[in-house]
Amino acid sequence: MSRFYDTLAALAVVLTPAAMMIAFGWSAYSAVLAETGVWWLSIAAGIATAAAIEVTGMVAGETALWLNAQGDRHWTTAAAILAVYVAAGLFILRDTALMPLPVLAGSVYILVGLRARAAREQAGVTRHAAETAAWEREKWHVMQADRTRIKLATVEHHAGTEPALISIERAQAAHERAQAAHACEQCDRSFASVQALNAHKRFCARVTE
């Protein structure tokens, strides 16, 4: 359905200006021919006049809608130019069967401009959604990388502290064995060295005596 209306909009953009250019061109051709009698000059004047008027109307309609979407108050100027285009067309084609054409053309240009505006807004929404999704994926990858680094740091920390704990435990065990090897036979007290044990024995012997 959207493609169907896109096709209709494209046809309207082609057929409406064509009809307007024919009407304006013939009027300009007739007027110049009546004034000068030069046919080639009349043809050139008709084509140039028709093209200038139609381009003005098309650009005015699109510009008015674009500026309005941007919040620019100068859209009223473009809208006024579009109104002048319609008024000029009505004046040129007055008292003819083609008089409604300028109103129709102005309406078509506004509708086509609205469709273009909607397409731009939709493209902006789509682009924003894609950027948001890309940002979410990037954030997820960063979080995963941070978690991996934390796990690796934890493993390295444990790998570095476990040998130290083992060494401490071994030293404590060796100290306990050394103390057990230097025990007093009289009172079973343990000492770290032979000298401490001998000094204790002299004292312990006096007490025992």
How much is the pLDDT for 43? 92
Please check whether residue 153 lies inside any domain of the structure: no
190 phi and psi angles, rounded to 5 deg = -105, 150
Residues 81 and 182 occupy one common structural domain: no
Q: Give the structural domain span for 196.
A: 172-208
How much is the pLDDT for 170? 64
Q: Which residues of 103-129 are buried (b: 16+ CB within 10 A; e: fewer)?
A: ebbbebbbbbbeebeeeeeeeeeeeee
Please check whether residue 45 lies inside any domain of the structure: yes
Q: Does the predicted TM-score (pTM) go above 0.85?
A: no
Residues 176 and 104 occupy one common structural domain: no
How much is the pLDDT for 207? 46
- pLDDT tens for the chain, residues 1 to 209: 567 777 877 787 788 888 888 888 888 898 899 988 889 999 999 999 888 888 888 888 888 888 888 888 888 998 899 899 899 888 888 887 888 888 888 888 888 878 877 877 888 888 888 888 888 887 787 787 777 777 776 666 666 555 555 565 665 665 555 555 556 666 666 655 666 666 666 666 544 44
Please check whether residue 130 lies inside any domain of the structure: no
84 phi and psi angles, rounded to 5 deg = -65, -40
Please check whether residue 129 lies inside any domain of the structure: no
Please check whether residue 148 lies inside any domain of the structure: no
DSSP symbol at 177: H
Residues 8 and 111 occupy one common structural domain: yes
Total domains in the fold of the chain: 2
Rounded Cα distance, 140 and 145, in Å: 9
Please check whether residue 54 lies inside any domain of the structure: yes
Residues 108 and 178 occupy one common structural domain: no
Residues 34 and 94 occupy one common structural domain: yes
Residues 28 and 104 occupy one common structural domain: yes
Rounded Cα distance, 133 and 128, in Å: 9
Please check whether residue 90 lies inside any domain of the structure: yes
Please check whether residue 31 lies inside any domain of the structure: yes
